[in-house]
Amino acid sequence: MHYRKLEAAVAQWVAKGIISHNQGEKILALYRHEVPVYKTLRFWLLALAVAFLGFALFLVLSANWQKFPWAVQSAIALLPLVVAQLMAVHAEKQGLRLRADLAWFVASLAFGLNIMLQAQIFHISSYYPNGVLFWVLGILPVLWWRPSVPIFFLVAVLFHIYIFLEMAQSQFNLLAFLPLVAIARTMLLRQNLVSILVFCITLYFFDWMLLSSRGAEYPGVVWELAHMLVALALLQNLAGLSQRHFTIFFRILILAFYSILLFLTFKDGVGFLWHKGKVWPAVALATVGALGLWPQKRQLLKQPVVLIFALSLALTIVAGGLLALFSEREYLKTTARIATNAIYFLSLLALLWQAIVQREKLLFWGASVGLLLWVFLRYLDLFENYLTTALVFALCAAALWGLNRLWQERYEK
C-alpha cells in the first residue's frame, strides 16, 4: 500500500465528513509502520553520498601507499570499517533503521576496501577472482538480516563481477551458491519487479558460469529460452507479486521471446536455436521450468495469453532439443525452420484472437505488428522459392479470414 496516497485520501475523507479526524488517525496508524525507510528521499540521497564516498576511498587506495608499513596501511583502512560497524550497532540499539541501514552499507564498502588493500599489499594476482567473492561472502549476513536496497544492489553487482571473472577462467567455486541463495531469498521477501529481474539475470549468468566451468560450449538460443521458461514459472509461483509488476515482467519476457523467435525464422537464424554444445543442460533447465509451471496449471487455464506464451516457448525448446538430438540429419534444419515459423505465426494468431476476446488494445497491436513484421521479413527472406512463399502467405491470409469468420459467428451474431 502506498502510504502517502492513503494519507491524502484520509485527509479528503475527513474534509468531506465521511470519517472523523480520530478515525482517520486510527486508519493511518494501522499502516504507518509499513513505510520502509528506503522509500524516503532522504535515505536515497544519503545512500548516494555513501556510494560516492566508497568510490573516493577506492581511488585513495589505488594511489598505493606502499611507502607506509603494512600495519599502518592496514590500520588506516580498518578505521572506516570499525567506525561504520560501531555506528551500525549503535543505530540498531537505538532502533534507528535508516541510520543502521546506511552504516551497514558503509561497513560493507569499507570491508571491500580492506580486502583490496591486502590484495594490493601482498601483490595477490588480479588473475584470481576470489577477492570479490570474499567481499560478497563477508557482507551476506548483512543482506540476510538487514536486506536494504543498497546492500541488495551491492551484493548483486559484486556477484556479477565475480561471475564474469570466473567465467573468463572457466572456473567455479562451490561457495558461489551462497550469494545466489541470499539474492533468491531477498527476491522472495520483496517480490517486486526489480528484485525478480535481478534474480533472473543473476541466475542466467550463474548457470553460464557453471556451464563454462565444465568446459561446455554455448548450446545455442535454446539456453536463453530455457531460462525464460524458468522465469515464467517463477513469476507464476510468486503469490505476493502485484498484478502491475507481473504485467511489466511478463511484457518484457514476451517481447524478448518473440524477438528471438523472429530471428529464428530466418534461414541462417534457425542455426542458432541449437549451436553445437551439449543441449541437455538447457533441456534439464526447461524441465525444471515446466515442472514449476505444472502446479499452476489451473491458474494458467484462466490466463490464456500466458498459456499461449508458455506453450510456444516450450515447443521452441523442444524443436531445439530435437535439432540437437538428430543433428546428423541435414533435412532437420529445414524442419526446424518450418517449426519456428509455424510457432511464430500460430501463436501470434492465437494472441491476436485473445486480444480481441479480452479487448486488449496493446496486445492486439503488438500481435498485429509482429505478424506484419514476419510477413515483411519473409517477403525478403523467402521460404525456399517465390511460389512456396506465395502459397504460405495465401494460407496465412486464409487463416486470418477464417479467424474473422469465427469471430463474426461467435460474438457478432
Partner 1 sequence: MKNRLPLPLMLGLPWLILIGMVSSAYLPILTGKEYLLPVRLKDPRDFFRGNYVALQYSFSELALDSIRHDLQEGKYRHGDVLYLEFMEKDGVLHPTGLFRTKRPTGIWLKVRPENEFHWPEAKSIRLRAGLDSFFAPPSDARAWEDAIQEGRVYARVAIDRDGNARLLGLNRK
Site residues for partner 1 per CB under 8 A: 58, 61-64, 66, 74, 81, 85, 88-89, 92-93, 95, 104, 107, 111-112, 114-128, 131-132, 134, 137-142, 145-146, 169-171, 213, 215
When the beta carbons of 117 and 371 are compared against partner 1, the nearer one is 117
- Min. distance of Cβ 111 from partner 1 in angstroms? 4
Q: What's the N-to-C CA distance of the chain in angstroms? A: 44
Q: Is 210 exposed, middle or buried (0-12, 13-18, 19+ CB in 10 A)?
A: middle
Of 86 and 395, CB closest to partner 1? 86
Distance of CA 76 to the CA centre of its chain: 39
CA distances from 272 to 14, 77, 93, 137, 382 (A): 63, 50, 57, 37, 18
Shortest Cβ 289–partner 1 spacing (Å): 30
Question: How is residue 240 annotated by DSSP?
Answer: T
- How near is the Cβ of 276 to partner 1 at its closest, in Å? 16
Which is nearest to 247 in space by CA: 191, 193, 178, 294? 193
36-72 burial by CB neighbour count: b if 16+ within 10 A, else e? Answer: ebbeeeebeebbeebeeebeebeeebeeeeeeeeeee
Max CA separation in the chain (angstroms): 90
Q: Closest approach of Cβ 141 to partner 1, in Å? A: 4
Which CB, 13 or 58, lies closer to partner 1? 58
Residue closer to partner 1, measured from CB, 214 or 267: 214
Looking at 87-139, which runs of residues are DSSP E strands? none
Backbone angles phi, psi at 412, to 5 degrees: -100, -15
Which CB sits closer to partner 1, 22 or 125?
125
Nearest approach, Cβ of 51 to partner 1 (angstroms)?
A: 15
Three-state SS sequence of 281-297 = HHHHHHHHHHHHHHHHH
Cβ distance to partner 1 smaller for residue 178 or 238: 178
Beta carbon nearer to partner 1, 208 or 258: 208
Query: Considering the complex, what minimum distance in angstroms separates the CB of residue 365 from partner 1?
Result: 44
Q: For residue 84, give the nearest of 110, 59, 60, 58 by alpha carbon.
A: 110
CB of 200 to partner 1, least distance (A): 26
